[in-house]
Amino acid sequence: MKQPPKWLYKVVQFMQGRYGIMDSLNKFLISCGFILIFLTIFIHAGWLNLLGLLFLIATYWRVFSRKIYQRARENGKFQQWTAWLTKPISRRYQEWQQRKQYRFFTCKNCHQRIRIPKGKGKIQITCPTCRHQFRART
């Protein structure tokens, strides 16, 4: 088996004890940075370019930081802050993936989403949260 090059060992040694993770906050910062830099092609504003570069610098600063727990805490707060947007999208995506095996119903009383296997015919569904009953076809 071929030995890895020496520079790779040096990179690994340099990154030991550093955050080095491309988490959701880093992905957001780098995406915003590239979008802002790309926009300067069409909108000739120097401050957009500067702001994009600041986002990219902040991303690399977070990646190379030795304060691992602070960076993880920052990412957790960012995820909590963006949960109102990401949770409904991921829930709809999961429902879309399971659409061949299950039907999804919403309780009219408490708005709870209920997953029922397909092919059961006309059944009575009891909401697990509020015990409201309704009939549906699967």
Q: DSSP state, 128?
A: T
What's residue 11's pLDDT?
A: 87
What's residue 63's pLDDT?
A: 93
Tell me the per-residue pLDDT of 3-50, one tens digit each, with 9 for 90 and over. Answer: 889 999 998 888 888 888 889 999 999 999 999 999 998 988 889 999
If you search the block for the tokens 């039907």, which residue do you land on? 103
CB atoms within 10 A of CB 12: 10
- Asked whether 110 and 88 are in contact (CB, 8 A), the reply is no
User: Distance between CA 93 and CA 115 in Å, rounded?
Assistant: 14
Tell me the per-residue pLDDT of 104-125, one tens digit each, with 9 for 90 and over. Answer: 999 999 999 999 999 889 999 9
What's residue 38's pLDDT?
A: 94
Q: DSSP state, 116?
A: E
The confidence band for 97, taking pLDDT boundaries of 50, 70 and 90, is: very high
Q: Do strands 122-126 and 113-117 pair parallel, antiparallel, or not at all (unpaired)?
A: unpaired
What's residue 17's pLDDT?
A: 87
What's residue 12's pLDDT?
A: 84
CA distance between the termini of the chain: 56
* Portion of the chain with pLDDT greater than 90, in percent: 73
Going by C-alpha positions, the residue among 36, 82, 79, 86 that lies closest to residue 57 is 36
What's residue 27's pLDDT?
A: 95
What's residue 2's pLDDT?
A: 86
- Exposed e or buried b for every residue in 46-59, given b needs 16+ CB within 10 A? eebbebbeebbebb
Q: Which helix (H) or strand (E) holds 134?
A: strand 133-137
What's residue 15's pLDDT?
A: 87
Tell me the per-residue pLDDT of 52-82, one tens digit each, with 9 for 90 and over. Answer: 999 999 999 999 999 999 999 999 999 999 9
Range list of H helices, 43-104: 46-63, 68-97
